[in-house]
Amino acid sequence: MAKKPKTTKVISRRKKFIKVEVPLAKSTIELIGSSPEEIQGRTIKLDLTRQLKGKSVEATVKIKTENEKPIAKPIKLKLMPYFIRRMIRKRISYVEDSFETPSQESMIKIKPFLITRKRVSRVVRKTLRNKCKNWIEDYIAERKDDEIFNEVLSNRMQKPLSLMLKKTYPLSLCEIRVLEVKRTLEKDEIPKIKPKPKKVEQKEEIEQGLDQLAEIEEEKKKAEEEIKQAQEKAVKKEEQEEKDKITEVKDSAKLLTSESAALSESKKDSEHKSDSEPATKEIKEAKEKTKEKETTTKEKPKKEKTPAGVPSEGKEKKE
């Protein structure tokens, strides 16, 4: 009989959830695997919109082991296109660029994205692009990869960049659209850090700043004095206007009182005339009556007086 071939048993280890630290997002994630060595080299995409409060960013992370612990290190940051679409408005200009610059660890590809407040000429866009590129190259050359990714996420890189570019033209948006690690650098390729300026220059700058502050304070004092003088003039004008109004009111009141007195006098005169009219009529009637009486008395014949001792005719008739 033919012999049966030998079968080898394959021992499969049970898979489990392995915790992986993500220092970029300050959180931990769980991946399925038998051991941390098996997970090493994997790439994971993370959505960081909730952590960045609405700023939709997608981060790609590569897992590496350090001290037998899996750690996720960032490789790429990408600003989602729908976020940029939401920011664009009518009558604006946008500036894009794409270039590679060396950091202290690796070669980094970066794509800045700028939006101006209003429509801008081609010359202004070119100057903005060149200034942005020079500033980012100097900024990245002094830092390591993890530091750069953290500063881009926390907006500590974009803020000074926008303030610097504001001198040429004010921006409504200044963002890094793509930040990607391309390759690790060799020792010869690592850029040298430029020496910082001496303290003497800093002192001169401080003195200039103090002089500027003194000038600003003097200007403030002058402005305050001018404001006080203007306020005093306004108060005086208001007082004069109030006085003029009071005099006008008094004059109008005097006129009203004089008019009312004249009206009252005219009323009294009219009443006195109405009372005196019947009296004059009575006087006239009385005068007429007296005249009539006088006329009647003149017309009557006078009686002849008889001397004493002579009998009157009447008496004789009686006898």
Say if 184 falls within a structural domain: yes
Domain closes at, from 144, 161, 196:
196
Say if 9 falls within a structural domain: no
Say if 27 falls within a structural domain: yes
Residues 105, 56 share a domain: no
The Cα-based distances of 22 to 8, 60, 61, 105, 292 in angstroms read 40, 11, 8, 19, 144
Spell out the long-range contacts of 40-48 with Cβ–Cβ below 8 A and sequence spacing 24 or more.
40/64, 40/65, 40/70, 43/75, 44/72, 46/22, 48/153
* Coil, helix or strand at residue 300: coil
Query: Which domain, by its residues, includes 69?
Result: 15-76
Say if 300 falls within a structural domain: no
**Overall domain count for the chain:** 2
Residues 115, 72 share a domain: no
Say if 32 falls within a structural domain: yes
pLDDT tens over the chain, length 319 residues: 455 566 665 566 678 888 888 888 888 888 888 888 888 888 999 998 888 888 899 999 999 888 888 899 999 999 999 999 998 889 999 999 999 999 999 999 999 999 999 999 999 999 999 999 999 999 999 999 999 999 999 999 999 999 999 999 999 999 999 999 999 988 888 888 877 655 445 566 677 777 788 888 888 888 888 888 888 888 888 888 888 888 888 888 888 888 888 888 777 776 666 555 555 666 777 778 787 777 776 555 544 545 555 455 444 444 4
Residues 192, 94 share a domain: yes
Beta strand 171-184 with 106-116 is antiparallel
pTM: predicted TM-score of the whole model, two decimal places: 0.56
Residues 118, 37 share a domain: no
Beta strand 16-22 with 99-102 is unpaired
Domain closes at, from 76, 105, 123:
76
